[in-house]
Amino acid sequence: MSEIQDYCVKPVRKLGQNFLTDKNIVAVEIREAEISSKDTVLEIGGGYGALTFELAKVAKKVVSVEIDRDLADVLEERIAKDDVKNVEIICGDALKIDVPAFDKCVSNIPYQISSKIVEMLGRYGKFSLLIMQKEFAQRLVAEPGDKNYSRISILAQFHFVPVFVRKVGRKCFYPSPDVDSGIVKLFPRVKKVKVCDEKLFFKFVTAVFIHKNQKLWKALSHSKRDMVMDKKVLSEIGRKLTDADVKVRVLDIERLARAADEFYGFVKKSC
Ligand code: SAM
């Protein structure tokens, strides 16, 4: 925590500024990420650099994106002071900028934008190791039928094979968040699930998971706002699906992909 106190920048809650202070956890991240000296590593949210400087010791290059101007300045200052040559700080919103090419992403992510970060990383399809809120981590790795199985499980598992590494207690951060965290590894999926239209697939998944305890056709019939379709039409098409009578929460990603493709196929025919 000493470097944080040295700089006296007040943590901004809405930016998820809970800084990692436990060096053992940083060591676990470095070990588990298996970074080689050829890797360019992306870090989302450099903070005070708890992770940045350790990454720099093992990677070819670290690109650290930090939204907070004050923290980006602190990082620049520390880089200059320690004469670290292989760290590039970009002050900006990681969700909005075009990040330079990278091989791996290793980050303690701001919890508020966890879903969006997973979505963004899905577009790059690179191995990622992230510290995130424990509940969120459990949802990423949840399997069909599990109580944590949700839209975000499908989003993550569409692009990655997520693996829960270990819990990280709230005391490992300053200031301590209200909840514990977890380390998750995201391995890019070798065999991707095939869908006719990725965007429509996620729209379908989002709509039906709002009613995940219902049968698929029923969940669809309740989603007229998300699907922007008439309830009767939704219900009619929903009943025609192969898994119409199966509860949403037990459908695996392949069956959801088939359901979405069938659904949009029927919609097309009915137009
Ligand atoms: N890596 C540091 C550490 O481990 O101590 C900081 C981690 S802290 C949980 C998250 C960091 O992400 C904060 O420094 C915050 O300012 C930054 N951040 C929040 N939203 C961001 C965004 N959209 N783009 C880039 N950085 C962001």
**Closest residue (by CA) to atom 4 of ligand 1?**
20
> What number is the average pLDDT over the span 53-71?
98
* Per-position DSSP letters for 188-253, written without gaps between them: EPSSPPP-S-HHHHHHHHHHHHTTTTSBHHHHHHT-HHHHTS-HHHHHHHHHHSTTTTSBGGG--H
Closest CA to 173 of 137, 135, 131: 131
Please give the pLDDT value at position 5: 63
pTM for the structure as a whole: 0.94
CATH T-level assignment (fold) for domain 198-270: Helicase, Ruva Protein; domain 3 (1.10.8)
In this structure, the residue with its CA closest to atom 22 of ligand 1 is 93
> Has residue 1 got a pLDDT over 60?
no
In the CATH scheme, what is the code of domain 2-188?
3.40.50.150
Name the pLDDT band for 83 (thresholds 50, 70, 90).
very high
Do residues 106 and 185 make contact, with C-beta atoms less than 8 angstroms apart? no
Looking at every residue in the chain, the average pLDDT score rounds to 95
| Integer Cα distance of 92 and 63 in angstroms | 12
pLDDT above 90: percentage of residues in the chain: 92
57 contacts: CB under 8 Å, gap ≥ 6 = none
Structural domain boundaries of the chain? 2-188, 198-270
Question: Ligand 1: which residue has its CA nearest to atom 1?
Answer: 46
Cα–Cα distance measured from residue 117 to residue 130, given in angstroms and rounded to the nearest whole number: 10
Average pLDDT over residues 98-108: 97
Report whether residue 46 contacts ligand 1, using a CB cutoff of 6 Å: yes
**Confidence (pLDDT) at 32:** 98
Residue 116 CB neighbours (<10 A)? 13
Q: How confident is the model at residue 228 (pLDDT cuts 50, 70, 90)?
A: confident
Question: Measured in angstroms, how far is the CA atom of residue 118 from the centroid of ligand 1?
Answer: 15
Q: 65 CB less than 6 Å from ligand 1?
A: yes
Cα atoms found within 13 Å of the Cα of residue 187, Cβ hemisphere only: 11
CA–CA distance, 181 with 109 (Å, rounded to integer): 10
How many angstroms does the Cα of residue 37 sit away from the middle of ligand 1?
A: 24
> Measured in angstroms, how far is the CA atom of residue 151 from the centroid of ligand 1?
24
67 lines ligand 1 (CB under 6 A): yes
Distance CA 253, CA 12 (A): 37
Ligand 1 lined by 26 (C-beta under 6 Å)? no
Question: Candidates 18, 23, 30, 44: which one to mutate for ligand 1, based on the most atoms within 8 Å of Cβ?
Answer: 44
- The three-class DSSP label of residue 43 is strand
Element (H, E) at 8: none
pLDDT value at residue 270: 81
If you measure from the C-alpha of residue 21 to the centroid of ligand 1, how many angstroms do you get, rounded to a whole number? 14
Q: Which atom of ligand 1 is nearest to the CA of 19?
A: 5
pLDDT at 268: 87
Phi-psi region of 11 (alpha: psi -120 to 50; beta: other; left: phi over 0): beta
Residue of minimum CA distance from atom 2 in ligand 1: 47
